[in-house]
């Protein structure tokens, strides 16, 4: 980075930190993007004059609200709900809803900010947004989750709509929660529209939406590996998480000939040296999605596997790592362990799972490393395809959706190569994704005037 870019980043970040005190995840996400695009801004100074960066980090709107609900014993609880409507230059706000105890304004803003560039990369007409609550569905009955979702949607419904803001799932929000949220939206608004995505297949959902983030991440990893003449065949894959993204990343990696040896949740990870197979995968699906159990139960069912409580899976030797759980789950020591273990490719399924120090380790070792905003964009892209199907009142086949998904992931990869290839030929996917995503949003904002 030259002197101008360095100065620009430091001044800009000082302002962002002063204006958004304590929002460390948001600062982290902004610093990464502004570091990538500063040289581009230097080359296109009209974007500096238009204060595009200053506008892009300021959400168009933040909605925070009270979510009161009653548990099965009659006790009253109060959670906090959020919707961050970050940027609508390219289309209606679009992004998931997260229910997790850790949710706060900083996490919501970082996710909405990332989403803006990710949605731009998909080439579909979608702006960026994100929402959620510090409510944890873990350990709650179906009836409690339903009452919470109904209370949450009673407020949220006045701020969203098929042409305004289209939420979807994220951590803690899967098919069950989308069902309850959609039911309450429909009841209050008296309309049946595709205002939420990730819907059930019988009521407006798209084939392949549940699979899309994990499958898309594997399609992206295939493209990354191909730049080195490699494939998934015969590779050992370490995956974190055991939720939606991890489940389908594991399934696709297996079908491409890889051996998936780990899965995890927030309590620990399981290591299965023989690798998952179809039967073990089906067990995990039932465990996590039906019984809502913990990943440690895998060890009791398959004694060849070992459970490591309180640990993350990154010390396991592997060729490919796919973090699919949560933000900042790979730190510097984890990254060093992965590099020392011979890992050649890190493809993010989660959002911002790698700390900046860990990214530096991967890039110094010239690993294939992709940020989530590029490699997990298959989920929101397929949500975009669900919106299209809802609008034209048609349903595409799984093959049609899969071919769109495949093409979108390979186009995102090509955009990263175009804007991220460095002088020595190394593909800096972080820079590529940030610059490619930024250009479209920035130009749209410039075209649309000072709004
Ligand atoms: P799920 O709720 O289905 O699964 C999340 C998994 O991650 C669970 O195994 C969960 O374990 C684990 N996890 C959650 N929080 C933590 C934590 N603080 N520490 C360790 N493990 C944790 O969520 P998804 O699979 O949908 O989402 C996973 C990631 O992928 C998130 O970063 C999300 O933003 C991102 N993503 C999701 C998309 C989607 O389409 N669903 C699209 C694009 C990105 P536990 O059960 O113990 O909480």
Residues near 400 by beta carbon (within 8 Å), at least 6 away in sequence: none
C-alpha–C-alpha distance, residues 376 and 390, integer Å = 23
53 and 65 co-located in one domain: no
198, part of any domain: no
299, part of any domain: yes
List pocket residues of ligand 1, CB cut-off 6 Å.
100, 102, 169-172, 174, 213, 241-246, 265-267, 324-326, 329, 349-351, 376, 379
279 and 302 co-located in one domain: yes
- Residue 173 CA: which ligand 1 atom is closest? 2
Q: What is the CA radius of gyration of the chain?
A: 21
76 and 122 co-located in one domain: yes
146 and 39 co-located in one domain: no
Ligand 1 pocket check: which of 251, 265, 327 to mutate, most ligand atoms within 8 Å of Cβ? Answer: 265
C-alpha–C-alpha distance, residues 108 and 96, integer Å = 10
CATH of the domain at 74: 3.40.50.10860
* CA distances (Å), origin 373, targets 73, 118, 156, 347, 349: 41, 5, 25, 11, 9
CATH of the domain at 51: 1.10.285.10
In terms of Cα–Cα distance, which of 41, 46, 39, 17 is closest to 30? 17
368 and 223 co-located in one domain: yes
380, part of any domain: no
141, part of any domain: yes
Out of 191, 220, 245, a domain closes at: 191
295 C-alpha to ligand 1 centroid (Å): 13
Residues near 325 by beta carbon (within 8 Å), at least 6 away in sequence: 240, 241, 243, 246, 264, 265, 266, 350, 353
Phi and psi (nearest 5°) for 77? -125, 150
49 C-alpha to ligand 1 centroid (Å): 39
156, part of any domain: yes
| Encoded tokens for 334 | 């984890």
Asked whether 331 and 324 are in contact (CB, 8 A), the reply is no
286 and 317 co-located in one domain: yes
327 and 230 co-located in one domain: yes
Determine the length of the chain: 451
Please count the structural domains in the chain: 3
* pTM, full prediction: 0.97
412, part of any domain: no
Q: Is 440 a catalytic residue?
A: no
Asked whether 385 and 396 are in contact (CB, 8 A), the reply is yes
Q: Which domain holds residue 121?
A: 61-191
The one-digit pLDDT tens for each residue of the chain (451 residues) are 799 999 999 999 999 999 999 999 999 999 999 999 999 999 999 999 999 999 999 999 999 999 999 999 999 999 999 999 999 999 999 999 999 999 999 999 999 999 999 999 999 999 999 999 999 999 999 999 999 999 999 999 999 999 999 999 999 999 999 999 999 999 999 999 999 999 999 999 999 999 999 999 999 999 999 999 999 999 999 999 999 999 999 999 999 999 999 999 999 999 999 999 999 999 999 999 999 999 999 999 999 999 999 999 999 999 999 999 999 999 999 999 999 999 999 999 999 999 999 999 999 999 999 999 999 999 999 999 999 999 999 999 999 999 999 999 999 999 999 999 999 999 999 999 999 999 999 999 999 999 9
* CA distances (Å), origin 411, targets 95, 118, 146, 326, 406: 21, 13, 39, 25, 9
Over 66-100, what HEC string results? Answer: EEEEECCCCCEEEEEEEEEEEECCCCCEEEEEEEC
Helix, strand, coil percentages for the chain (3-state, nearest 5):
50, 15, 30
C-alpha–C-alpha distance, residues 391 and 166, integer Å = 13
C-alpha–C-alpha distance, residues 92 and 420, integer Å = 28
217, part of any domain: yes
35 and 112 co-located in one domain: no
Asked whether 332 and 361 are in contact (CB, 8 A), the reply is yes
172 and 232 co-located in one domain: no
Name beta bridge partners: 61: 85
CATH of the domain at 221: 3.40.50.720
407, part of any domain: no
Catalytic residue among 94, 109, 130, 251: 130
* CA distances (Å), origin 186, targets 68, 152, 160, 164: 20, 14, 12, 16
173 C-alpha to ligand 1 centroid (Å): 9
286 and 348 co-located in one domain: yes
255 and 340 co-located in one domain: yes
162 and 263 co-located in one domain: no
Instruction: Enter the DSSP assignment of 306.
Output: E
Please tell me the predicted confidence (pLDDT) of residue 1.
Answer: 79
């Amino acid at each position: 980075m030259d002197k101008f870019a360095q100065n620009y980043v430091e001044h800009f970040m000082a302002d962002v930190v002063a204006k958004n005190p304590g929002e460390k995840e948001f600062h982290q996400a902004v610093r990464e993007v502004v570091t990538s695009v500063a040289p581009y801004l230097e080359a296109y100074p009209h974007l500096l004059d238009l204060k595009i960066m200053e506008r892009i980090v300021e959400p168009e709107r933040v909605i925070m609200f009270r979510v009161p609900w009653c548990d099965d014993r009659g006790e009253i609880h109060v959670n906090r709900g959020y919707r961050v409507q970050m940027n609508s230059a390219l289309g209606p706000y679009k992004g998931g809803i997260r229910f997790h105890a850790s949710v706060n304004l900083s996490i919501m803003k970082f996710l909405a900010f990332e989403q803006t560039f990710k949605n731009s990369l998909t080439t579909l007409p979608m702006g960026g947004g994100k929402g959620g609550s510090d409510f944890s569905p873990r350990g709650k009955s179906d009836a409690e989750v339903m009452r919470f979702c109904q209370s949450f949607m009673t407020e949220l419904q006045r701020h969203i709509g098929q042409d305004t803001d289209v939420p979807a799932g994220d951590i803690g929000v899967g098919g069950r929660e989308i069902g309850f949220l959609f039911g309450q939206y429909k009841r209050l608004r008296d309309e049946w529209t595709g205002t939420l995505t990730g819907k059930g297949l019988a009521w407006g959902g798209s084939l392949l939406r549940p699979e899309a983030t994990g499958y898309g991440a594997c399609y992206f990893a295939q493209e990354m590996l191909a730049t080195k003449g490699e494939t998934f065949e015969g590779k050992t894959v370490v995956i974190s998480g055991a939720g939606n993204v991890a489940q389908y990343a594991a399934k696709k990696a297996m079908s491409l000939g890889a051996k998936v040896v780990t899965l995890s949740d927030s309590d620990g990870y399981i290591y299965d040296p023989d690798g998952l197979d179809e039967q073990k995968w089906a067990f995990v699906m039932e465990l996590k999605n039906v019984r809502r159990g913990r990943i440690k139960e895998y060890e009791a069912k398959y004694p060849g596997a070992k459970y490591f409580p309180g640990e993350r899976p990154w010390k396991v030797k592997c060729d490919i790592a796919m973090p699919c759980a949560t933000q900042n789950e790979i730190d510097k020591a984890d990254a060093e362990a992965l590099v020392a273990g011979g890992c050649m490719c890190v493809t993010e399924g989660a959002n911002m799972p790698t700390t900046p120090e860990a990214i530096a380790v991967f890039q110094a070792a010239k690993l294939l490393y992709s940020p989530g905003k590029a490699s997990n964009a298959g989920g929101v892209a397929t949500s975009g395809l669900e919106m299209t199907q809802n609008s034209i009142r048609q349903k595409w086949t799984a093959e049609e959706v899969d071919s769109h998904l495949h093409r979108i992931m390979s186009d995102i990869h090509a955009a990263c190569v175009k804007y991220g290839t460095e002088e020595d030929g190394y593909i800096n996917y972080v820079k590529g994704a940030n610059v490619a995503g930024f250009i479209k949003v920035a130009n749209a904002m410039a075209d649309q005037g000072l709004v």
